[in-house]
Amino acid sequence: MNESILALREELAQAQRICVMTGAGISAESGIPTFRGSSGLWRNHNPAELATREAFTRNPALVWEFYNWRRTLIAAARPNPGHEALARLEARTPQTTLMTQNVDGLHRLAGNTSVLQLHGNIWETRCTGCGRVQEQRTPDLGSNPRCEKCGAALRPNVVWFGESLNEELLGKAFAAASTCEIMLTIGTSAVVQPAASLAGTAKRAGAVVAEINLERTPNSLFMDYVILGKAGEILPQLVP
């Protein structure tokens, strides 16, 4: 085991208040594609460009095709050793705040009980007319799902670019980042705000900050630890 993994493992074992921020990279080893990078291409579309209001307004059927495809992949996906290590971390350190940009629900499936899903939940729909939110487990909802109550178009209950994150969740995330002793950021390119800035908040408040990713990110510059590798291989070493 390399020295920085050993040192960070010790710090984690001593800490009482821990924050964890995850992104698409933690679910990559469960077979769920990430948004950016060479593998982030879907039928010649950039996934990050489909996750917008403009795309939905222009072509809701295309956006639903994209989300139905992801829902089908996610329905078959299982938590990997990275998710499982974070569930162990919460079990042994109860003041662990897990915040995720992922909408796949794999952290809860792995056993984390409190997860701040900052970008929403792909298993929910929201009515563009009456606002009703509903859990819908059927993976493929077709190209034009409609509200049973008011007949308006349904959309995925996720946060697209230009939309505000849930204020209450975001408040909890910033409060936890401001008061934790250690913050881990895992498998995120750290380019999407405001999620990307939580690590900086923790650092400025005096926390030890650590990044686990295949490659460096804009946040690497101020990290105390940058551990390059797969989350599913590094996290089980950090939380044995």
Contact criterion met (CB below 8 Å) for 117 and 103: yes
- Using the contact rule CB under 6 A, the part of the chain among 88-96, 129-137, 160-168, 200-208 near ligand BJW is 160-168
Q: Which is nearer to ligand BJW, 44 or 164 (CB)?
A: 164
Residue 45's beta-bridge partner residues? 42
Minimal distance, residue 43 CB to ligand BJW, in Å: 15
Q: Which of the listed partners (ligand BJW, Zn ion, none) does 127 bind, with a CB threshold of 5 to 8 Å by partner kind? A: Zn ion
- Interface with Zn ion includes 63 (CB under 5 A)? no
Exactly one of 21, 25, 176, 185 binds ligand BJW (CB under 6 A); that residue is 25
Minimal distance, residue 150 CB to Zn ion, in Å: 3
Angle at CA of residue 78, ends 213 and 199, nearest 5°: 30
Exactly one of 40, 129, 139, 236 binds Zn ion (CB under 5 A); that residue is 129
- Using the contact rule CB under 6 A, the part of the chain among 108-116, 125-133, 155-163, 170-178 near ligand BJW is 155-163
Catalytic: 107? no
Q: Report the site for ligand BJW in 37-96 (rule: CB under 6 A).
A: 37, 40, 48, 51
- Interface with ligand BJW includes 235 (CB under 6 A)? no
Instruction: By CB under 5 A, name the binding residues for Zn ion.
Output: 127, 129-130, 147, 149-150, 152
